[in-house]
C-alpha cells in the first residue's frame, strides 16, 4: 500500500522516492560480464544499449545523432532546434558555448531560438542523419505536432518522438485545436514515443493512445528549474515503478501489447542508469552526460530544450565543461575516473553481472532497498 503522509488538516501527500534514495540488492547468483546483454528493441528497431538521447541542441546534431546510432543507441534530433532554424548553426553554438557565468544566457537563448523554423531544413537534417546510417528519430513538441509532423514524416524518419515537459492523452483547450494523440498515432505506420509523464494514471492513458514508448520523467537534473517555476518535482524511482505497474496492467488489458518505458531525469552515472532499469524502465534518456563527450556540438555546455521558452523558460544554462572523452569512451570506456560518468553502459553490464542477470528484462526484477 502506498505510503501516504498527512501534511496538514485535510491534506495528504503520497511519499515518493528518488533514485538516490534506493540501492540495488545483489541476488544469490553472479554472472560473467561477457554473458550479459544490454540489447533493447523498440518496435522493429534493435539497439545495442538502452540509450536514447535527450533532444537538446547541446548534445544532438545530425552528426552526433548518427554517431550515437552507430554506437548502438538512439539519437534524437529536435526539429524545433537550432539545426532547423539556421543553415549553419555552428556560429550560434560557438557563441553559446563561450557564454560565462555572468552573461545573460537565458535571454540569449531566447533570442537565437526566435529565428523561425524552416521546413526545408527539417528535410535536409533528416537526410543527413539517414546518410550517417542507423535509426533516424526526430522530436516535436505536442503544441507543434500537427504543424510539423507532416514535414517530419515526409522527410522519412523511423521513429517520431512527441515530447514536452508533461504530456497527457487528453489536452483540453478552448482556444486551439488540441492534439488527439490516439487519433494521430492511429493514422501513422511508424512507432511513436510520447512523454513525459510522472504517474500511473497518465502513463496508462498514454499507453492507450497506441504509443510504442512512454517517456517517464521531465528530464530534471541540477540545471532544471521546473521545480522552482512550476512547483513540479519528480521522484524518479517512484515514477518509474508506477509507470511499470501501468505497463503491466496495460499488458493484461490488451492481451500482450508491451509498451516500453524510457526514464528521463535524475540520471548522471552508470549507477543511476542501473537503478532506473531496476525500477522497471526499458531504456534511459541521457542529456547532460552526453554533453561531456567530444562529439557534443556545444562543446560541453548544456541546456534543456525548454530553457529557451520565449515566455517561461525552465532550465538554467550549464557553463561549458571540459569533455571527458569521446562518445564511445563515455558509453563503453575505458574509464579513467571512478565517478561513474564514463563507461556508462559498461557499468550497467557489470551491475547486471554482479546481480546475476543476463538481460534487461530479467534485470527489471532486481531487488531494491531504501537506504536513505
* % of the chain beyond a pLDDT of 70: 97
The CA-based dihedral angle spanning residues 357, 363, 369, 372, taken in that order and rounded to the nearest 10 degrees: 110
Q: Do the bridges between strand 11-14 and strand 22-25 make them parallel or antiparallel, or are there none, so unpaired?
A: unpaired
Mean pLDDT of 192-208: 94
> Quick one: cell of 210?
497506441
* % of the chain beyond a pLDDT of 90: 81
Please answer whether residues 307 and 313 qualify as being in contact, where contact means their C-beta atoms are separated by less than 8 angstroms.
Answer: yes
Assign 270 a pLDDT band (cuts: 50, 70, 90): very high
Adjacent-strand bridge partners of 261: 214
Distance CA 196, CA 332 (A): 27
Please answer whether residues 240 and 260 qualify as being in contact, where contact means their C-beta atoms are separated by less than 8 angstroms.
Answer: no
DSSP string of 237-263, one letter each residue: HHHHHHHHHHHHHHHHHHTS---EEEE
Distance CA 345, CA 331 (A): 6
Q: Note the residue count of the chain.
A: 372
Mean pLDDT of 208-228: 92
Mean pLDDT of 360-371: 95
Could you read off the pLDDT of 110-148 as tens digits, one per residue? 999 999 999 999 999 999 999 998 999 999 999 899 999
Q: Do the bridges between strand 51-53 and strand 283-286 make them parallel or antiparallel, or are there none, so unpaired?
A: parallel
Phi, psi of 18 (to 5 degrees): -85, 165
Please answer whether residues 163 and 17 qualify as being in contact, where contact means their C-beta atoms are separated by less than 8 angstroms.
Answer: no
Q: What is the reported pTM?
A: 0.95
Is 172 a residue whose pLDDT tops 60? no
Mean pLDDT of 166-195: 81
pLDDT of residue 175: 61
Nearest-10 crossing angle of helices 119-131, 62-70: 30
Q: Name the residue with cell 523561425.
A: 116
Is 334 a residue whose pLDDT tops 90? yes
Assign 173 a pLDDT band (cuts: 50, 70, 90): low
Q: Using alpha carbons, list the distances in angstroms from residue 74 to 60, 68, 302.
A: 11, 6, 19
Side-chain half-sphere of 163: how many Cα atoms within 13 Å? 31
pLDDT of residue 1: 61
Amino acid at each position: 500500500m502506498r505510503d501516504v503522509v498527512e501534511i496538514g488538516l485535510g491534506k495528504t501527500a503520497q511519499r515518493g522516492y528518488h533514485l538516490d534514495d534506493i540501492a540495488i540488492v545483489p541476488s544469490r547468483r553472479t554472472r560473467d560480464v561477457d554473458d550479459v546483454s544490454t540489447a533493447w528493441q523498440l518496435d522493429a528497431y534493435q539497439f545495442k544499449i538502452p540509450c536514447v538521447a535527450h533532444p537538446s541542441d547541446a548534445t544532438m546534431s545530425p552528426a552526433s545523432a548518427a554517431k550515437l546510432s552507430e554506437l548502438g543507441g538512439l539519437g534524437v534530433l529536435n526539429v524545433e532546434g537550432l539545426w532547423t532554424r539556421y543553415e549553419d548553426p555552428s556560429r550560434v553554438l560557438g557563441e553559446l558555448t563561450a557564454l560565462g557565468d555572468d552573461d545573460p544566457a537565458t535571454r540569449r537563448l531566447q533570442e537565437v531560438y526566435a529565428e523561425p523554423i524552416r521546413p526545408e531544413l527539417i528535410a535536409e537534417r533528416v537526410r543527413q542523419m539517414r546518410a550517417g546510417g542507423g535509426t533516424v528519430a526526430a522530436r516535436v513538441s505536442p503544441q507543434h505536432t500537427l504543424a510539423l509532423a507532416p514535414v517530419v514524416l515526409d522527410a522519412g524518419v523511423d521513429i517520431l518522438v512527441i515530447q514536452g515537459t508533461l504530456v497527457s492523452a487528453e489536452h483540453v483547450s478552448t482556444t486551439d485545436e488540441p492534439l488527439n494523440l490516439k487519433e494521430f498515432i492511429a493514422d501513422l505506420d511508424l512507432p511513436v514515443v510520447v512523454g513525459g509523464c510522472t504517474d500511473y494514471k497518465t502513463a496508462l492513458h498514454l499507453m492507450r493512445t497506441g504509443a510504442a514508448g512512454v517517456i517517464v520523467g521531465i528530464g530534471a537534473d541540477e540545471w532544471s528549474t521546473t521545480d522552482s517555476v512550476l512547483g513540479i518535482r519528480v521522484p524518479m524511482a517512484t515514477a518509474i515503478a508506477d509507470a511499470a505497474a501501468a505497463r503491466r496492467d496495460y499488458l493484461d488489458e490488451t492481451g500482450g501489447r508491451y509498451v516500453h518505458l524510457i526514464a528521463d531525469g535524475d540520471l548522471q552515472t552508470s549507477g543511476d542508469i542501473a537503478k532506473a532499469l531496476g525500477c522497471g524502465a526499458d531504456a534511459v534518456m541521457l542529456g547532460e552526460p552526453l554533453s561531456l563527450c567530444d562529439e557534443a556540438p556545444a562543446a560541453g555546455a548544456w541546456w534543456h530544450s525548454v530553457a529557451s521558452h520565449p515566455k517561461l523558460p525552465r532550465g538554467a544554462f550549464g557553463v561549458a565543461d571540459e569533455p571527458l572523452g569521446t562518445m564511445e569512451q563515455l558509453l563503453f570506456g575505458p574509464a579513467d575516473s571512478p565517478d561513474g560518468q564514463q563507461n556508462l553502459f559498461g557499468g550497467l553490464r557489470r551491475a547486471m553481472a554482479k546481480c546475476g542477470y543476463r538481460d534487461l528484462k530479467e534485470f527489471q526484477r532486481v531487488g531494491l532497498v531504501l537506504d536513505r
